[in-house]
Structure 1
Amino acid sequence: MPTKIEARLKRKNRIRKKLSGTTERPRLTVYKSLKHIYAQVVDDTTGKTLAFASSLSKDLKGQDEGDKKADAKRVGALIAQKCKAANVEAVVFDRNGFPYHGRIAAVADAAREAGLKF
């Protein structure tokens, strides 16, 4: 029986077969650990990261409430802000094998509210 991590990696690989970021619509990928959440926008054609945000970012350091879902919302808003600065308006969302609820959904919703299209 596969472990939780192996099952997530299997889902991740299945999703990544179908998703690919282009120059016009890069891939917004989200990773969560037990304490933090990370989001980055990647152009898969060139293999470059266009924007990156995490709950460890200097921009979010003073706003720590201890609530992980609130941190995820702030990360979503920050990644959308950085995408706008990098002239990225639309992305493809990659949940990285995680179920789309909780902190993953909070990042996506906050990024949408901040003006990112996906």
Structure 2
Amino acid sequence: MDAKVLRRQKIRYGIRRKIAGTSQKPRLSVFRSNSDIYVQLIDDVSGKTLAAASSKDKDIAAQKVTKSEQSKMVGAAIARKAVELGLTSIVFDRGGYLYHGRVKAIADGAREGGLQF
């Protein structure tokens, strides 16, 4: 692996040591690839994914917008799914990425959708 990936992994492990999700307050995990972005609501106690959303979802992928705008839509989509499950409070896991750009757009979209963190 190259140095950039190893650096992110080290940061990610440090973050994961400190935070964990429960069924009442799940962890919102972010993964960012060059072209797409993925989020999951995870209950770390039972090891299950409660809900997921990504920029590959048909309604989001069909729109021709910037990656940051797509990320905001993904945040809103995961917030809708969380509210349907009766969840309003989460723990945000930025996955070792800087809280900037697409990662910040996901957080903003999720907050606007009704999630608190």
Task: Give the AA of the match of 1:52.
Answer: A
Where does 1:1-118 land on structure 2 (aligned, <5 Å)? Answer: 3-65=3-65, 67-118=66-117
Task: Give the AA of the match of 1:42.
Answer: I
Structure 2: how far apart are the matches of 1:64 and 1:12?
31
Task: Give the AA of the match of 2:71.
Answer: A
Structure 1: how far apart are the matches of 2:18 and 2:113?
26
RMSD: 1.0
Return structure 1 stretches of 4+ with deviation > 3 angstroms.
none
Gaps of 5+ in 2: none
Structure 2: how far apart are the matches of 1:60 and 1:101?
21
Structure 2: how far apart are the matches of 1:108 and 1:69?
11
Following superposition, the deviation at residue 60 of structure 1 comes to: 1.6
Structure 1: how far apart are the matches of 2:59 and 2:91?
24
Q: Deviations over 1:57-100 (max 9, x none)?
A: 123232232x1001100000000001111111110000000000
Gaps of 5+ in 1: none
Please give the TM-score of this superposition, normalised by the length of structure 1.
0.94
What is the total number of aligned residue pairs between the two structures? 116
